[in-house]
A and B are shown apart, each in its own frame.
Chain A
Amino acid sequence: MSQSNTSPGADLTEVVHASVVNDTLREALSTGGEFAEVFVEDKASSSAYLDDGRVEELTSGRDRGAGIRVVVGETTGFAHTADLTPEGLATAARAAAAAARSGGGGVRTVAMPDTPYRSLRPVRIDPSGVDKADKVALLRHADEVARSRSGSITQVSAGYADSRRRILVANSDGNFATDEVVRTMFNVSCVASGDTGMQTGRESIGHTIGFELFDRYDVAELAERAAERALTKLAARPAPSGQLPVVIGSGGGGVLFHEACGHGLEADLVAKGASVFAGRTGELVASPLVTLVDDGTMAGEWGNFGIDDEGNPAQRNVLIEDGVLTDYMWDVLRARKEGRRRSGNGRRQSYQHLPMVRMTNTYLLAGDGDPNDIISSTPHGVYVAHLGGGQVNTATGDFVFGMSEAYLIEDGQITEPLREGNLIGNGPEVLARIDAVANDFAMGPPGTCGKDGQGVPVGDGVPTLRVEALTIGGTAA
């Protein structure tokens, strides 16, 4: 929804002026405290959804407001407001300060630069300027293509969504920065029906770019792949149970690493002893074939941004190098406490949430193996072409992840398709059991990572790799 003071492309400092930001920080620290922060967000989103052959609705949404936090001793006070006037911000600042309690400390001066660090990453085609009819046409095209693939495709849904999120972050440590991230995504889901019941196939694409997404990808191809996945599974047999070697296909999704160790390397969980990786930096925690990177700078990828939600530039951080744990991921609070440099991993769902340590784009570096050799050297196992979501208990290291497209490997050949299910393993054990990594790295589809009730966009990627034994959650003997 257009509002006069937020024309497209306008920097958020035109909505909340630097002097107001400065005054708000001063107000936040007026009763004491070590740290104060103002986070302003303006997010506009639009989406269109087709189901059952009809464009059911188009939706537009707008969220705008500010979250203010004040740290006094060990306590963070937080308040947010949708009122971006100087008075509204001051009220929220006082509420945050009151929440943090007056620690009795002296009043801190705020050293804020006059002008913000501006992260400028322009998109080629601003989605908000694209005719809604063009977005709807993509949905119809995907629907037609998927249905024409086979008479067994009995239902199709397709979704288009774009968003523009502008943020401004300023804190009493002197960070002052703005950023704008445009995201565009598309997905297709198909139902195939046959004698064996119904099966589903889904494909999605998403990048931190504009409508030029559709110059890079053909929605028809996406629709065909989704339809093909559902059709393939009609003939699928139950997945095996018990432990088997598992080969994960290139670009099928890095959710394995996201769950097996990503969350466990978040400094907030580490600090509370809620991670099996606590106290293990410098140690061998994985097979020497594993070099794992978390990289918020990867242009265009789903977890990409210019600055994190605490005002620090995105960074490329090597978490595990040749199997050795090099570092955890950090947010401002943990980094301050440990006297560490920040790693650009402080993220939040919206201005209504406190930031915490989060992943960005997490991926395994390519090795030098040939993907075909990895499969042909596996006498009996499971090939997972496409991973679903996952979940981890970071304290025990036990994690699950789904396989949404998988096949049996028999005598070194990919053979029959398997029905869906989860795989389960223990992070450190699985990392140690990675015995092959290929040279065919690819990023996977866009994801949303949930932690503590907050969802943030993340990316992941892997080359073809093999885990010598993982527990497959199927029903077959």
Chain B
Amino acid sequence: MPEPIDPADTQRLLDIADAVVGRASSTEQVEAVVVADRGCEVRVYDGEVESLSSADTAGIGVRVIDGGRQGFAWAGTLDPDAVEAVLAEARDNLRFASVDEYAGLAEPDGVVPASLELYRSEVAAMPTADKVALALELERATLAADRRMTGIESAEYADSVVAAAVVSTTGIRASSAESACWLSVYSLAGDADTTQTGFGFSLGRHPGVLDPSVAAADAARRATRMLGAVRPSTGRTTLVLDPWVTAQVLEVVGSMLSGEAVAKGRSPFAARLGESIASPMVTLVDDPTNPDAFSASAADAEGIATRRNALIDEGVLKMFVHNATSARRAGVSTTGSAVRRGFRGVPGVGCQALALRPGTSSQAELVGALDDAILIADVAGLHSGVNPVSGDLSVGAEGLRIRDGAPAEPLREFTIASTLQRILTDIEAVGNDLEWLPMGAAGVSLVVRDVTVSGE
């Protein structure tokens, strides 16, 4: 058994991938993806460390294409015997796949990868005691932030260093290393009758940017402002989506602009290229080369340089995103939008770092302009209530009544429903409060008119 891989040692990952790819026969295309991940998680509760976990994992995924057939296999180890077995298994698997004229690995397209500084050595160098101290301070600060705070469900510090290499017989040879660390807390607030919950986080690529007080203040504010919440009456109303909610909606919209979904007849926007599909306020860009995005990356999951893709320009649909296979099928070029689940899957197609072009008003100014609306602070049930094929959207929600331009009573246990197609056209304003969130999209406050609220 080899020593654990230092995730900063991308050369070692490239060497392992090179060795596999070097075994390709003259008729085969072979791609090897090697990933190593090292992480730590500290959970605290009631002033003590509840658990401290260290993680050190590595694995390889091998894709083989021969005669238009594709096979894949993976293993959660870089043990040489297992790597050997993965290649053999991928070869065996392809014998049973269909011939696909569009199957094939990505080929270098000459686009130079962005120079991104995603790895900071401070994460790996941080002493455990400092991680524990940060987590304890997070819990303390959250409970101290407001006298109505009654407890926490969890408070943690966590970090990870991930390195990946992709090498293929078609000339792809890419590697990357990135670090991340974060504080997150789920909080409880109570009054005589009820308990409400909130959350807060602080994250970055190195511990220097972590601020427990920011996470604590958010967690306390989110929980306490919900105390005394009532159910709204049923009807149509204008919503202000909090950036946290907007980012989640954008991720679904992004999935509908996947070239694979379009080609396979699963996107309601398939035939709308060049048409207006959204309010003129909407300019949507997917740009993984933006270093501010926590999901930034210089190369996509096939090793192709990522790039800025302008998807919607002032409401007009300009393009779909593609990996090598979907692009070949659509007769266009890859947009560097191959995505995959580490080493355990074949590349799919997806947006990676979505952001709306921000407007000029703060959330307070947007709220100030509305007589009667609801600020949606959080949503639930996105996986069960949003269908990216039909576009139907219906999710549970909580938030605050907006009355006469000011936030009023808290509201809970209601749903908001529309279709994603309608939401895009019903956007009345985009805020100026763009913030990158721990997902593949940035959030920004959004005013959407005429959404059905179902409650009392």
Binding site for B on A (CB under 8 A): 1-3, 48, 50-65, 73-83, 85, 88, 95, 99-101, 132-133, 135-136, 154-155, 191, 193, 197-200, 233, 239, 241-243, 269, 272-274, 276, 352, 354, 388-391, 393, 395-396, 398-402, 404, 419-426, 452, 471-475
Contacts and interface: CB of A to CB of B under 8 A. Distances in A.
B290 interface: no
Nearest to B48: A74
Given A82-B57, A197-B391, A471-B414, A133 B96 contact: yes
B119 interface: no
B360 interface: no
Majority-rule SS of A interface residues? strand
Interface stretch (B20-28, B109-117, B260-268): B260-268
Contact of B73 (A60, A79, A274, A396): A60
B195 A396 contact: yes
Contact of A272 (B71, B81, B151): B151
A55 B70 CA distance: 9
Interface residues of B, number: 86
B393 to A, nearest CB: 8
Contacts of A48: 96
A65 B417 CA distance: 45
B96 A421 contact: no
Contacts of A471: 231, 413-415, 454-455
Contacts of B48: 73-75
Contacts of B92: 132
B54 A79 contact: yes
B16 to A, nearest CB: 14
A305 B223 CA distance: 38
Contact of B395 (A63, A100, A243, A473): A473
B71 A58 contact: yes
A198 B266 contact: yes
Contacts of B296: none
Contacts of A50: 98
B417 A241 contact: yes
B384 A198 contact: no
B332 to A, nearest CB: 18
Contacts of A273: 150-151, 188, 195
A472 B265 contact: no
Nearest to A88: B1
A422 B89 contact: no
B355 to A, nearest CB: 25
Nearest to A193: B265
A453 B194 CA distance: 27
Contact of A75 (B52, B98, B154, B186): B52
B73 A59 contact: yes
Given A56-B98, A58-B71, A61-B344, A83 B266 contact: no
Contact of B77 (A51, A82, A452): A82
Given A74-B48, A200-B390, A61 B412 contact: no
A472 B396 CA distance: 10
A55 B98 contact: yes
Contact of B100 (A54, A88, A155, A391): A54
Interface string B320-359: 0000000000000000000000001110000000000000
A421 B392 CA distance: 7
B234 interface: yes
Contacts of A424: 381, 396, 413-415, 454
Contacts of B77: 62, 64-65, 82
B383 interface: yes
Nearest to B385: A422
A398 B266 CA distance: 32
A56 B100 contact: yes
Interface string B254-288: 00000000011110100000000000000000000
Contacts of B228: none
A57 B197 contact: no
